[in-house]
Amino acid sequence: MDPLSDVLSLLKVQAYWSAGFDFGGDWALAFGPYEGIKFYAVISGDCWIAVEGVADAVHVVPGDCLLLPRGRPFRVARDLAFEPIDPVKTFVGVKDGGVTVYKGGGHFFGVGGEFSLTGDQAEVLLGVLPPIVHIREEADKAVLHWCIERMRQELRDPQPGGFVVAQQLATLLLVQTLRLHLAEGRNGGVGWLFALADRQMAAAIKAMHESPGAPWTVQSLAARAGMSRTTFAIKFRETVGTSPLEYLTRWRMAVAGDWLVRSPRPISEIGQSLGYDSQSAFSLAFKRVMGCSPGQYGRARSRGLGEERAT
**What stretch(es) of the chain map to CATH 2.60.120.280?**
3-184
The C-alpha angle with vertex 310 and arms to 309 and 311, in degrees rounded to 5, equals 95
Of 151, 74, 49, 70, give the one whose Cα is nearest residue 115: 70
Could you tell me the mean pLDDT of each successive run of 10 residues in the chain, 311 residues long? Answer: 87 73 84 88 92 93 90 92 77 45 69 78 80 88 84 77 80 86 71 90 96 97 98 95 96 93 91 96 95 89 54 44
Of 141, 160, 140, 162, give the one whose Cα is nearest residue 151: 162
- With beta carbons less than 8 A apart as the criterion, state whether 79 and 157 touch: no
What is the distance between the terminal CA atoms of the chain, rounded to a whole angstrom? 32
Query: Which H/E stretch holds residue 160?
Result: none
What's residue 57's pLDDT? 94
Residue 179, helix vs strand vs coil: helix
What's residue 103's pLDDT? 54
* CATH tag for 3-184 (out of 2.60.120.280, 3.40.50.300, 1.20.990.10, 1.10.260.40): 2.60.120.280
CATH, domain range 193-310: 1.10.10.60
- With beta carbons less than 8 A apart as the criterion, state whether 123 and 60 touch: no
**What stretch(es) of the chain map to CATH 1.10.10.60?**
193-310
